[in-house]
Amino acid sequence: MTQNPTTPNQDPPAHSGILQIVNGAYVAGAVSCLAQLGIPDLLENGAKSAEELAAQTGAQPDALYRLMRATACVGVLAEGSDKKFSQTPMSAVLRTNAHPSLRGLAIMTGREWHERGWSRLEYCVRTGKQALDEIYGMTIFEYLKHNPEESRIFDNAMTGLSSIDGPAVADAYNFAGVQNIVDVAGGHGLLLATLLGRNPHLKGTLYEVPHVLEGAKTGALKPYMDRCTLASGDMFSSVPAGADAYIMKHIIHDWPDDACVKILKACRQGVNPGGKLLVVDCVIQPGNNFSPGKFLDLQMLIFPSGRERTEPEFRKLLEASGWKLSRIIPTAAGDSIVEGVA
């Protein structure tokens, strides 16, 4: 008698698992294309056919149908018996006006610079160097500065993530003893706006490079400008002095240790007596359990030459900068708040 090669108590064969992982690149590409075309926005008021949506987006109807059929099989859209497509909870997150909106992040992952960067992962692993310097002759941040449209997409992606991370940080940390805070490299200021909204006693400063700061003037911070200052400069040499706390969300992970020490030393020099350092990043845990942070770590290797860090690595980094790691506070978003004291 021939035995079935798999039974309900057996794991699927190894090649099935690898195929599923590799096919993930196809899924991500399709979802990115869907977001770039703005299909979820167009379905906000009800189901539509591929022909209707093609007329609105300038796409070829059959090709658009095939794209939506593919994303629907992973829960991003739903196809009805009439071949019309409707919104699902996951496609709704890709709307421009969703809260949170991951449209910017989905679009960014499909941009040429991002895909070319991941195609150079072997180069990065062999050399330890970032990819875009080898591809374009400039770092990721230089590339974004010289490509305003890509910078806009990148900023939208980071703002979308902040709409998830920001409330989680505000929920996890007690800011009662902090009177003024500087958000170092805080993008368009959504994290700082969230903290100011939750803590009416708090005053804040958004510290960014000039071309990013422009986008903050009419953004989430606008209702709080009576308690907020916008400042620009070089975080590697100095930060606005006289703050009770300096917070950085997904900034320290952008840089190698020597660059991080410069940023953290600048914060140490500027902080008020008894002040705090708040680094919001992934904290890598030991073991083989699945961790998005371990793949974000590869993203940091490829683009800005940074890394995600373990608790011992954070402790060593803070000590080299004049800080002492006092505690690590998990948040509901999966990041942690690494708190340092002077």
Q: Are 117 and 132 a contacting pair, CB within 8 Å?
A: yes
Please identify every residue annotated as catalytic: 253
- Adjacent-strand bridge partners of 342: none
The closest alpha carbon to 175, from 204, 202, 203, 205, belongs to 202
Write out the two tokens for 237: 């040499």
Residues in the chain: 342
CA–CA distance, 39 with 104 (Å, rounded to integer): 14
Helices (H), the chain: 14-37, 39-42, 50-57, 61-72, 89-92, 103-109, 112-119, 121-127, 131-136, 140-146, 148-172, 190-198, 210-213, 257-270, 292-302, 311-319
Neighbours of 210 (CB within 10 A): 9
Which residue is associated with the tokens 């009416």? 200
273 upstream amide cis, omega within 30 of 0: no
Q: How far apart are CA 206 and CA 188, in angstroms?
A: 8
Rounded CA-CA distance 171/184 in Å is: 20
Tokens read off for 252: 């320290």
- With residues binned 3-state (H G I as helix, E B as strand, rest as coil), the percentages for the chain, rounded to 5, are 50, 15, 35
Kindly give the pairing relationship between strand 336-341 and strand 324-330.
antiparallel
Q: How far is CA 63 from the centre of its chain?
A: 30
Question: How many other C-beta atoms lie within 10 A of the C-beta of residue 27?
Answer: 15
By the 10 Å C-beta count (0-12 exposed, 13-18 middle, 19+ buried), 329 is classed as middle
